[in-house]
Structure 1
Amino acid sequence: MDLPPGARMLDLACGSGEMLCTWARDHHITGTGVDISTVFLASARARAIELDVAEQVTFIHGDASNHVADEPVDIGACIGATWIGDGVAGTVELLRRSVRPGGILLIGEPYWRRDPPDQVTVEACHANRKDDFRPLPNLLAQFGELGCDVVEMVLADQDSWDRYIAAQWLNIRRWLDANPDDELADQMRVELATAPAQYARYQREYLGWGVFALMTR
């Protein structure tokens, strides 16, 4: 997106702050992350110190669903958490309240790669209803209906999905090895035993993921 040094960013539901911290390091931006999880925010602040960007970024504990920047920002982001605005439309409107005219909105959102054949597939892809996600052309059309131009997008392919998901299996296995007597160990053992086949049967085939850069018309 050709970010100029000093660009200001707001990241809603920022999680562990990885995007904000690495962009501060790599592109010399400043920014604020907002998240409701104190665990994630502790990780985000530690990451900012690790990357030597603690003076460039700030992390706020709070409800991202009603957070508006004190001053307009150049980039407003919500990656994988559009539930904070009750969906894509509400999240776009929320970000617009913080982004300056001509600024960029970043939305990370799943979409259907293939039409899910039944409710089992829908729920295995972390949706409650088929309508919770849209096919990619419909999602892009929705952005237009919301008065936005799509100016960039980055889509996961199946290989990058594999790398993302499989890293979770490795972490579960390492956690089980280190915590065999934990009260959650049996539950996590079942998760590890079933997750790979579940992923291959459903998410890998049916669920897509993208981050979309938008500008208001």
Structure 2
Amino acid sequence: QRVASKLVRAIVLFIGLLVAMNAVGIDLTALSVLGGAIGVGIGLGLQKLAANYVSGFVILAERAVRIGDNVRVDGFEGRITDITGRYTRIRAGSGREAIVPNDTLVTSRVENLTQSDRRTAVTTSVPVGYDSDVDLVKRLLEQCAAAQPRVLTVPPPAATLDDFGADGIRFTLTFYISDPENGWGGLRSAVNFAILQTLREHRID
């Protein structure tokens, strides 16, 4: 009731203002043009808003993507945590979060990683000295990743020699997980700690 009364009061004041301006001879043509422009702007804004709500209905009806799915949209990859009428919330494994308008999900290219393959690759880079036994380093890196319970055995962890730098050679360790919704930052940190400890035990710099 309070909202309705305020709305009625505002309308009455607006009409009274128009009558007063007309009485003192102010041309209302400019105001009508301005009102038309404002109306067009509001219409465009409502059109975009309506498109998002319609797109939200389409997403929920077709179930092309659902809460819990891992998707990649416009270069951003993460798990869908919420779908509202206007937008969809996507959370990356690193903790970053994106709010994507539903219209974007309907009109843009969206990769549903859950429907195709839940396995997600995680990588970490490890530099070692030129005098290191590369075969031993490769084996140790793969063992450090395989020792983590969340790391998949198929495909198995793989360490590759990727680069020759000024101070040493660089390995890239790649391993896979099947639960990216739980994040991978902590897992990669655990693997890195294990690698550091193992390399120190074998006196590999």
Query: What is the TM-score of this pair, normalised by structure 2?
Result: 0.28
* Higher radius of gyration, 1 or 2: 2
Which structure has the higher relative contact order (CA within 8 Å, separation 6+)? 1
Query: What is the TM-score of this pair, normalised by structure 1?
Result: 0.26
